[in-house]
Structure 1
């Protein structure tokens, strides 16, 4: 651990191997810092997070970068590999590998890997040819369904399982989501999903623990197939976005993996 000059650290605190806290860091309260984190000068924790008062500590998971002058509110958790831009005010939990900035913090994107920076925005498909197009993430596929159009309007149809690779048992719609909000943030153990944005646009991040890719869904002829064992995130909702999701299984809370570290462990990925 390296702690720079003019830092003030008080309260219940633990710091992981290889973490670096630059000068002028002020933390007054409960704090957990993971391994190989980098915290730039002038980062502060808002008062009131002392564990003696019963408030939860701030938790910074492994390999997090926090830019100079950022402020962390009491009790927030910053997921592994996240990147916090300079001057950001973090008032809520930050998902793993998220890129956040602003006051209050909003998610601007996701990190492709520790070395590579932001995920490239690939769009739904380089060409709108009908059929399935594989992604770099294991098992994930982008579907372009056939569009039929005449003077009466346009129609798009798909059949299960001929056009979409499973027989659904459930569907749900997601809409009226504020643009700053993030949905999903989980994986399934057995359930398959097919996502299509029937109105507006959204961005979907898919992650198998080794590869991560961002896909834009912005047309009702486009769909995204997500198999079990893939972490999914939806964000950048347009104000008019309506997301339709078909699921291969009925709702089962036990099928969800909601913790990213647990997801990596089940996938056999070490970080």
Structure 2
């Protein structure tokens, strides 16, 4: 007897089903599908052949998973969410290969959301109910609307504007700096001293501006480069992540700076229409210094924080 449950009114033609999985009434699973352990496939779900579900995936009622869909462990798919796998569908015309859509570990897809083919929803991201997702979603991002855009990030203590003076944050090595500001009837001035307020030698700067509000910048970490961010005009939301903790900040005045050390994943989003972001960098531009894949960043960052083996002195 199989060690998974199939309701008498369901049709499960696949034998690649993990222990403890439950497939409920009127669901139909084709022979080539692969389903992990302890999954919950609710009523009226259709799963095609080239579909992989990892462990502990929940598929609510009325969902169809077509060839090319990959759902990693602990993914939640809400009722009537719609996946697609062909950008130019025609009756009785099949592409040589269907687009691959991947939902990474721990992500959630809200009810009635629609996902275009060939995108990736990052780990622990949240797609809001009814969202139309036309491009890949970064890890931990919350997206809503049509087309879907980022409105926040999960697992952050909440956006902060900071308090006077530098202060540590919940992210390793990241500090928020209140810079000196002078105001009088002639205008306002903010100033930072290199070596104290900005605690490194600056070798490069760049400005980011004219960013549409729905666009996302950053989405990378550095092996060696340190950065100091100041919104010299307007406001920008910044997410900092050390692979163990993440925190969100609002840079909304020229007297507020954010220090990002190496091996910090950073994302900038929700630029105001007039936003100008100044970034001071400790290194000259080097494409090899960038880490642009979040999964690779997590592996590298966690290796740095791994405790030394017993009997071996730490460096």
TM-score normalised according to structure 2 size? 0.79
1:184 match: secondary structure: strand
- 1:3 Cα deviation from its structure 2 partner: 1.7
Alignment of structure 1 residues 1-271 onto 2, 5 Å? 1-48=39-86, 52-112=95-155, 119-123=157-161, 125=162, 127=163, 129=164, 131-268=165-302
Larger strand percent: 1
May I ask how many residue pairs the two structures share in their alignment?
261
Q: Which runs of 5+ in 1 are unaligned?
A: 113-117
**CA RMSD across the alignment:** 1.8
Rg larger in structure: 2
CA distance in 1, matches of 2:142, 2:157: 10
Aligned with 1:237: secondary structure? coil
Higher relative contact order (CA 8 A, sep 6+): 1
Per-residue CA deviations over 1:166-223 (Å, capped at 9, x if unaligned) read: 0111110000001111111111111000000000001111111111111110111111
CA contact (8 A) 2:86 2:99 kept: no
Q: Which deviates more, 37-46 or 48-57?
A: 48-57
State the 1:136 CA deviation: 1.1
Q: Provide the TM-score with structure 1 as the length reference.
A: 0.91
Counterpart Cα distance in 2 of 1:119 and 1:178: 26
Deviation at 1:28, TM superposition (A): 2.5
Please give the secondary structure, in 2, of the residue aligned with 1:148: strand
Say if 2:85 and 2:98, in contact at 8 Å, map to a contact too: no
